[in-house]
A and B are shown apart, each in its own frame.
Chain A
Amino acid sequence: DQQVKQNSPSLSVQEGRISILNCDYTNSMFDYFLWYKKYPAEGPTFLISISSIKDKNEDGRFTVFLNKSAKHLSLHIVPSQPGDSAVYFCAASRRDYGQNFVFGPGTRLSVLP
């Protein structure tokens, strides 16, 4: 049973518009969330994170929102650029889980010029 879900396998957005990638989790004990980006033939790279004590974290064009009551987080990219085309993984962790990140299946974002 997947604890971290990304229900949209793919998403296409026009350059300059907003991209919104969604992630849902089932375990209310998760207290830290991360987004990783992956280009083809490369390993995932860290993008942005958020602690459960916050509901928003922003870094340049990237903002992550956390809704704990809904067990939902989203990644907003504004404005979207063609170089943002990649697979985005949502991951969750918890303090008593050691260093075990639980990853979602990923969403492939295509930003069209």
Chain B
Amino acid sequence: DAGVIQSPRHEVTEMGQEVTLRCKPISGHNSLFWYRQTMMRGLELLIYFNNNVPIDDSGMPEDRFSAKMPNASFSTLKIQPSEPRDSAVYFCASTQGSGSYNEQFFGPGTRLTVL
């Protein structure tokens, strides 16, 4: 199995530009998570989906952030417009089932730098 796939691995953009991060979960997994890692706040859950439906988006910082999951094998996290404080590593994770304790499998992350 290829594991969780994220693209791009690195993204450098200028303030005000739109950024789209992509994720392909592990085949057969029906829950998908977007996390952000910063030095100050560690790993924060932004949003998660179960069966392509957003369940909890309380971690999304503000309206500039949006996430979609049009099908079971693809999700996007979009930032529009981007700001320097959005610079972080963004991880996607997936798991099978909807249990509270299921191990989450993480992708390699996208390192975003907003200048």
Contacts and interface: CB of A to CB of B under 8 A. Distances in A.
Contacts of B44: 103
A62 interface: no
Contacts of A104: 42
A21 to B, nearest CB: 14
Given A97-B100, A98-B56, A99-B98, A43 B43 contact: no
Interface in A94-113: 94-106
Most buried by A among B43, B56, B103, B108: B43
B100 A32 contact: yes
Interface residues of A, number: 27
B101 A32 contact: yes
Given A43-B91, A103-B42, A105-B42, A98 B106 contact: no
Given A44-B43, A99-B33, A103-B43, A93 B106 contact: no
Interface of A: 2, 32, 34, 36, 41-46, 49, 51, 89, 93-106
21 contacts: A34-B103, A43-B91, A43-B93, A44-B43, A44-B106, A49-B103, A93-B101, A95-B100, A98-B56, A98-B100, A99-B48, A99-B100, A99-B104, A100-B56, A101-B45, A102-B45, A103-B43, A103-B44, A104-B42, A105-B43, A106-B42
